[in-house]
Amino acid sequence: MPSSSRFSAVDQVPKYRRHKPSGRAVVTIGGRDHYLGKWNTQASRCEYNRLIGQWLASGRVAPSDGVGPSVAEILAAYLRFAKGYYRKNGEPTSELSEYRQTIRLVRQIYGMTPAKDFGPLALKALRERMIAAGWCRRVVNQRIGRVKRIFKWAVSEELVPPSVNHGLQAVAGLRRGRTTARETEPVKPVPDHLVEATLPHLPAVVADMVRLQRLTGCRPMEVCILRPCDVDMSGDVWIYRPESHKTEHHGRDRLICIGPKGQEILRPYLLRGKTDYCFSPVDSERRRREAQ
């Protein structure tokens, strides 16, 4: 292969090449040449396959040269992993956005630091920057937890030594009343009298969705994706099994009970195709226009 082809495109694999001056085989990974032995021998091909396999398995992070990858390289590798992992129904989840924000701050402060040197004191310094930025205690704890998970993943990929993860796990979360991080008020349910006052001003379909949610305790998305085929009406109490729900990645089943009052609200919306959504924005808009 031509010796001028030193770097491949991002989505390609570095080439097995001949180093003409020495007659050895060579591959360039991460800007560094790795000599594999005599050109065009089985041993050099095996060494090439080993290095490329390690490189691909590590998320395209170059093999360690003694110093090891930088924090920025670890973050980039994890982000590539996260883009494939944090997906639901083919779409990125909100967790991917959270990781992006966390990674941005870590890279700004510690990007050039060797990943093996990122320890508890660095994590605490990062936490202080989060507090100084005005993030509340709960968000700080969540994002520090994500940093820990990034380095735990890096250990599993043999990108950093296990001691890095062990050290970071020693950093405890911030406790209420024992930190300068600001606190936020817990999110409470909307008072019933405000819901009742709002219902008359909602489109009829949306109002029925709110009423059904109050009676069953289901999540807003679970109301939106409700279909006739998801409701078991064989008993006195109907059972709704959402096609998708928040905790399905934990292997948990989700059952929502619908009693007589909820059945009365839902029954007219079940008179459609079994796989059609019961609450359709098209229906809501049509009713609104009819009312006008």
Domain positions in the chain: 17-57, 71-169, 192-291
Extract the residue ranges of the chain whose pLDDT is less than 50. 1-9
Angle value at C-alpha 75, between 73 and 79, nearest 5 degrees = 120
Res 54: pLDDT:
75
Res 187: pLDDT:
84
Res 11: pLDDT:
60
Res 6: pLDDT:
41
pTM, rounded to two decimals: 0.65
DSSP-derived letter for residue 14 is P
Could you tell me which CATH class the domain 71-169 is placed in? mainly alpha
Could you tell me which CATH class the domain 192-291 is placed in? mainly alpha
Structure tokens, 251? 């292997």
User: Which helix (H) or strand (E) is 152 found in, with range?
Assistant: helix 137-156
